[in-house]
Amino acid sequence: MIRLRLPLAIAHRVLIDFFRDRRSRVVLMVTPGILIILGRYMYSTPAAFDRTGGLMLGVFPALSMFLTGSTALVHERREGTLEKVLTTPASRKDLVAGYVIAAVGASLAQAVVTVTLAYEVCQLTTQTPAWLIYLLTALCGIFGMSLGICASAVSKSEGEAEMFLPGAMVPQLLVSGVFWPVSRMDTWVHWLADFLPITALANTMTLARLHSYGGVSMVYSLIAMAGVIAISLTVAVRVVGIRAVTDL
Amino acid sequence: MISGKSLLIAGRVFKELRRDYRTMFLFILSPTFVLILLKGMMGHSPADFNHFGLITAGLFPTAPAFLFSAFALTQDHNHRTLEHLLTTPVSKLDVILGYVIAFVLPALVQIGLMLSVAFGLLGLQVAGKWWEVGLIAIVNCILGLAIGLMVKLFARNEFQLTKVLAMIGVPHLMISGFFRPPSLMVGWMAFLSHIAPWRYGVELLDQFQRHAWPTAAAWFNFGVIAFIVALLFTVSSVTVLNRRTA
């Protein structure tokens, strides 16, 4: 039985932190929407945009949450908040759980903005009904945040955490199929893509766009996403406290 | 024009960069790595690889310069190094030149490695010469540095900087014509792309796709980039490089 009081208190504080800075607010709420609109108008017809549009709905929220998550823990360690939280009865698990709850809240809010823009302004069409797309986009946000928290837990400074963006996320973005159809890539890139977390996300969004409710294969890619989330959170729980102590 | 002072500043910034091996590693290897990935993605359509490969080779070095220069300057700010520097008899031009030299030196290694892999191993084929692409890559690296220093204007610390860099970098890349040429975009976005500095980098490179020697259009785009760099450096020298104490 997990006690929710401590994680909820932490989540409350984290959410306030997320939304306090104007730049963070923009990254969380506005940037994915802007990117999708820019993506739409790179193409002249809504139909041409559909193929990448579905993917962007998953990838951009994930990136924005990754960015938010990857600097959050490092920032807390810098400011000393992390140390203080860990001296209270809150455990490392509570801390990460708090972050996850905050991620759920932020992702849902973000998904409302992003998906509404995609349907209303960009005229995206999907086979899966809109309510499920909202949930899937939010899940992609949580997915990005989990990877971000993991990156954050193993970084010493904001600068180091930011390196994960060009170092780990941009290559993944390239092979995710947003810019170039996966089916036309070489076999070794396919093989590489099979091991990259973002493939699970890209598959989910593509299947949801093509088939009503995604079909059986979407269940598999959802399980893969859940697996990535679980692994990165486990690593984060293991590492976050240790680094905090050695930094003293 | 390059004085001993700017060389000294360059030496210090370079040492700062070199100390963090992760930064150096990413800075030097990332363009090569992305090109190899691109070859894997587009191996079945050589025409597309030649197009995107050229743009990536010439423009990608701007990205690490953009990211790392902003962080380097923020650190100098936070550690008060900049304040101390500006109390000594160095001019702001010395500081800017120092940064340029510190970033262009590792960029030479980065670009050299990238070009040998691109033209040697990956079989990139363009009408322009390899050294022309290399020179453009260096120019774009300085452009990235200029944008990076300027970005410092919108962020007080590293935490804010990470957000600002992403907010500026990614949309900028999308409207610059990196993925789809502005002529294929919807009207207002094509118009918007005129204010994106990287657009001129992309167009400059595109000229060398078909022409071996710089055309009038190439010189025009180069001129625009030089103008933007000069403008950004001037703006940063009166804003970012100001002393906060009297």
pLDDT for the residue numbered A2: 61
Q: Which of B23, B43, B174 sits opposite A38 (nearest CB)?
A: B174
The label of the residue with tokens 């949930």 reads A135
Question: Residue A151's domain spans which residues?
Answer: 5-246
Instruction: Tell me chain B's radius of gyration from C-alpha atoms.
Output: 18
Q: How confident is the model at residue B1 (pLDDT cuts 50, 70, 90)?
A: low
**B129 φ/ψ sector (left φ>0, alpha ψ -120 to 50, else beta):** beta
Dig out the tokens for B224 from the structure: 């625009």
ipTM: 0.76
Weakest mean pLDDT among A133-142, A192-201, B85-94, B105-114: B85-94
Dig out the tokens for A37 from the structure: 């609109």
Which among B168, B217, B160 is positioned nearest to B196, based on CA atoms?
B168
Distance between CA A101 and CA A218 in Å, rounded?
Answer: 24
Q: Mind telling me how many Å the CA of B59 is from chain A's nearest CA?
A: 14
Q: For A33-57, write each residue's pLDDT tens digit.
A: 888 888 888 777 777 788 788 888 8
Tell me whether residues B162 and A158 touch, CB distance under 8 A. Answer: yes
Interface A-B, measured as beta-carbon pairs within 8 A, has a size of: 120
pLDDT for the residue numbered B149: 85
pLDDT for the residue numbered A247: 45
Dig out the tokens for B186 from the structure: 């919807």
**B214 φ/ψ sector (left φ>0, alpha ψ -120 to 50, else beta):** beta
pLDDT for the residue numbered B34: 86
Distance between CA B30 and CA B121 in Å, rounded?
Answer: 16
Distance between CA A205 and CA A236 in Å, rounded?
Answer: 26
Tell me whether residues A185 and B41 touch, CB distance under 8 A. Answer: yes
Tell me whether residues B42 and A179 touch, CB distance under 8 A. Answer: no
What's the whole-number average pLDDT of chain B?
Answer: 82
Residues of A with CB under 8 A from a CB of B: 21, 23-24, 26-27, 31, 34-35, 38-39, 41-44, 63-64, 67, 70-71, 75, 78, 157-163, 165-167, 170-171, 174-175, 179-180, 184-186, 188-189, 192
For chain A, what percent of residues have pLDDT higher than 90? 1
Among B167, B168, B184, most A C-beta atoms within 10 A, so best to mutate, is B167
Domain locations in chain B as residue ranges:
4-238
pLDDT for the residue numbered B2: 61
For chain B, what percent of residues have pLDDT higher than 90? 0
**B186 φ/ψ sector (left φ>0, alpha ψ -120 to 50, else beta):** beta
Tell me whether residues B20 and A159 touch, CB distance under 8 A. Answer: yes
Dig out the tokens for B142 from the structure: 């300085």
Q: For B36-83, write each residue's pLDDT tens digit.
A: 888 888 877 888 888 888 888 888 888 878 888 888 888 777 777 777
pLDDT for the residue numbered A208: 83
Distance between CA A91 and CA B205 in Å, rounded?
Answer: 54
Weakest mean pLDDT among A204-213, A224-233, A234-243, B168-177: A234-243
Tell me whether residues A38 and B189 touch, CB distance under 8 A. Answer: yes
Among B159, B184, B198, B199, most A C-beta atoms within 10 A, so best to mutate, is B159
Residue pair A192/A186 in contact (Cβ under 8 Å)? The answer is no
Distance between CA A129 and CA A213 in Å, rounded?
Answer: 8
Distance between CA B164 and CA A156 in Å, rounded?
Answer: 20
Q: Which residues of B touch A174 (CB under 8 A)?
A: 34, 37-38, 41
What is the average per-residue pLDDT within B119-139?
Answer: 84
Q: In total, how many domains does chain A have?
A: 1
User: If you measure CA to CA, which chain A residue comes closest to B43?
Assistant: A186
Residues 14-43 (B) with a CB less than 8 A from some CB of A? 20, 22-23, 26, 30, 33-34, 37-43
Residue A245, pLDDT above cutoff 50 = no
What's the whole-number average pLDDT of chain A?
Answer: 82
Instruction: Give the list of residues 6+ apart from residue A51 with CB closer than 8 angstroms, or none.
Output: A181
pLDDT for the residue numbered A244: 45
SS3 A199: helix
pLDDT for the residue numbered B209: 80
User: If you measure CA to CA, which chain A residue comes closest to B154?
Assistant: A23
Tell me whether residues B162 and A189 touch, CB distance under 8 A. Answer: no
SS3 A45: coil
- Residue A112: CB atoms within 10 A of its CB come to 14
Which among A200, A151, A192 is positioned nearest to A175, based on CA atoms?
A192
Residue B90, pLDDT above cutoff 80 = no
Distance between CA A216 and CA A221 in Å, rounded?
Answer: 9
Weakest mean pLDDT among A131-145, B26-40, B231-245: B231-245
Q: Mind telling me how many Å the CA of A16 is from chain B's nearest CA?
A: 15
pLDDT for the residue numbered A248: 40
pLDDT for the residue numbered B169: 82
Residue pair B165/A27 in contact (Cβ under 8 Å)? The answer is no
Q: Which of B45, B159, B180 sits opposite A42 (nearest CB)?
A: B180
Q: For A157-186, write each residue's pLDDT tens digit.
A: 777 777 787 778 888 888 877 777 777 788
Dig out the tokens for A172 from the structure: 């993944």
Which among B30, B51, B40 is positioned nearest to B177, based on CA atoms?
B51
Q: Mind telling me how many Å the CA of A199 is from chain B's nearest CA?
A: 14
| Element (DSSP H or E) covering residue B151 | helix B130-151
Q: Which residues of B touch A171 (CB under 8 A)?
A: 33-34, 37
Dig out the tokens for B19 from the structure: 């100390």
For chain B, what percent of residues have pLDDT higher than 70? 97
Q: Which residues of B touch A168 (CB under 8 A)?
A: none
